[in-house]
Chains A and B, each alone.
Chain A
Amino acid sequence: MTAYERITIGDSIVFGAHRFTAEEIKRFAVAYDPQPFHTDEAAAAASHFGALCASGWHTSAVMMRLFVKYFASEIERTKARGEPAPQLGPSPGFDDLKWLKPVYAGDEIAFSGTIIAKRESRSRPGWGIVSIETTGVNQKGEPVFAYTGHVFAAMAEKT
């Protein structure tokens, strides 16, 4: 993923993978989503989930961390080629976020994305909006997460 003009619909992106530990699942949940099946192993075992699982917001936040890490590496690769570094702005929102299966303690989730749309912003001259269909798959190959994110990307004359 580079400057807006160079982004092509159909481009694919590998974000990377993360293994969720029980400690971090509980730490996130205590701070933001203190439902018993996210904060306590025994309560989770007695719930319909059957075991401790991550808050969906935690799964989503880890996806974002891996995307930002990917994008930082892309900036370095672009600079190394002597091209202007790409720049992202904030996101106006997303659609169709699905927590398809629980993310249990010990699961390793690999995230990747595909560019499905791009358009020039009407309200923000010099910026485009890029849509990325993103999925997260666990170590058994089961999809656990999906969403279509939208993000502002600077056009070349801005970078």
Chain B
Amino acid sequence: MAKRYFEDFAIGEKLPLGTRHVTRAEIIAFAAEFDPQPFHLDERVAGDAMVGGLIASGWHVGAMFMNLLCGGFLVESSSMGSPGIETLKWQRPVRPGDTLTGYSIVIEVRASKSRPEMGIVRFRHEVVNQAGEVVMWLENPILFGRRGAPS
């Protein structure tokens, strides 16, 4: 795959993300380190909350999305990181045994006025489970180096 630069993104383009299987062990390991709430750690107590069984931490879903984005196109690009996320919605729970994939839609492309070596691409990203349901979506800008600019 050719390396993607700022100039290679077009509004409306839909870029596929990678695919990832979600295991119970990974859900619990992430939660134990970063989000040790009962409904992320243990099926027996997870039923007490409104979530109805063990679910992945939303931040774990975000981190897995980042990995899908890296595998989809970001590692093979001139990415210079991101200043943030405008909105993120956790729409549906992610559970052990789910398989996640998704896509990133380009919604805005603009050159940086102050930094000619880079440009800003805004995306709507959607993470989808094996049933085709959107489990999480977010909109955010990512900075990309321009073709021919010193890296």
Contacts and interface: CB of A to CB of B under 8 A. Distances in A.
Interface string B1-20: 00000000000000000000
A49 B81 contact: yes
Given A55-B66, A57-B59, A98-B83, A68 B90 contact: no
Contacts of B63: 28, 31-33, 55, 57-58, 61
Contacts of A33: 63, 66-67, 70
A75 to B, nearest CB: 11
A57 B50 contact: no
A147 B89 CA distance: 13
Contact of B34 (A65, A100, A124): A65
Interface string A84-98: 000111111111111
Classify chain A's interface size: 35 or more
Interface in A70-124: 87-100, 102, 124
A46 B50 CA distance: 47
Contacts of B60: 61
Contacts of B49: 87, 89-90
Interface residues of B, number: 37
B55 interface: yes
Classify the interface of chain A: helix, strand, loop or mixed: mixed
A32 B66 contact: yes
A97 B85 contact: yes
Given A32-B66, A61-B59, A89-B49, A97 B84 contact: yes
Interface in A141-159: 147, 152
B58 A90 contact: yes
Nearest to B49: A89
A144 B35 CA distance: 21
18 contacts: A28-B63, A31-B63, A35-B74, A35-B81, A56-B82, A60-B59, A61-B35, A64-B34, A64-B59, A65-B36, A68-B37, A88-B37, A89-B50, A90-B93, A93-B87, A93-B88, A102-B81, A124-B50
